[in-house]
Amino acid sequence: MIPVKRGYEMGKVIDATGNACPKPVMITKKALDTDSDIEVLVDNETAAKNVAMFAASRGCTVSSAQEQTNLFRVRIVKQEGTEECEDIAAFTTGPTVFVFSSDVMGRGDEALGKVLIKAFLHTATELDRLPDMMLFYNTGVKLAASDAETSADIALLEKKGVKVLVCGTCVNFFNLGGKLAAGTVSNMYDILNAMNTAGRIVTP
């Protein structure tokens, strides 16, 4: 049961109660596509915080209040001139980038990490949704070397359309010039730009 609105003029009321995370945020996002002044009702504090954080990230003015034990009201007002902040989805739907910063998967046991990285790259070739890009730096560049067992999988991923960038400084450091089976030798500008514009970064 939603309480009656208070006596002063507020935004359009959006009832997002009874919805599990992340539904309230999605409902809010949809509502903000059409309305610039809304009140979102949620039934728990976490949802209220998530909705508020989402709205704030879009440059909106946000205020939130707990009205009952299980009722929180989040007022969201779009601000003029904040259109460029509007679509957080642009960040979450950007390119998926796999970052290989070493020739092992995880930290801890070196031998186990070498086994895991082979399994990771093998599995990556079978993903339904391939990454858009893979970046290799530091000892990660060794994975793309012709004599590495992982290089065939990297070459296959590249053949399937994944953009593969390999750190040139690192290739030089490990004397791997001309010995790569896959990838384009790249630089810090392109590598950092790829990470900075990524929607998701996956690090094995």
Partner 1 sequence: MTRNKGEFVVALFQSVSVAMKAETALKAAGVSYKLIPVPKEISSECGICVRLLPSDKAAAETVFAGAQIASTFVDF
What is the set of active-site residues? 21
Nearer to partner 1, 33 or 128 (CB): 128
> CA–CA separation, 75 vs 13, rounded Å?
9
Q: How far is the CB of 125 from partner 1 (least distance, A)?
A: 9
CA 176 distance to own-chain centroid: 31
Region binding partner 1 by CB under 8 A among candidate stretches 15-23, 78-86, 113-121, 170-178: 113-121
Q: How far is the CB of 157 from partner 1 (least distance, A)?
A: 14
Nearer to partner 1, 41 or 157 (CB): 157
Contacts for 49 with CB less than 8 Å, ≥ 6 apart: 64
Nearest to 162 by CA among 200, 125, 108: 125
> CA–CA separation, 97 vs 197, rounded Å?
9
Q: How far is the CB of 118 from partner 1 (least distance, A)?
A: 5
Q: Does 21 bind partner 1 (CB under 8 A)?
A: no
Torsion of CA 133, 136, 142, 146, to 10 degrees: 30
Q: Does 146 bind partner 1 (CB under 8 A)?
A: no
> CA–CA separation, 81 vs 36, rounded Å?
13
The three-class DSSP label of residue 58 is coil
Q: How far is the CB of 202 from partner 1 (least distance, A)?
A: 16
Interface characters, 114-133, with partner 1 (x: CB under 8 A): -xx-xx--xx--x-------
> CA–CA separation, 40 vs 13, rounded Å?
6
Nearer to partner 1, 118 or 200 (CB): 118
Nearer to partner 1, 9 or 126 (CB): 126
Q: Does 90 bind partner 1 (CB under 8 A)?
A: no
Site for partner 1, rule CB under 8 A: 111-112, 115-116, 118-119, 122-123, 126, 149
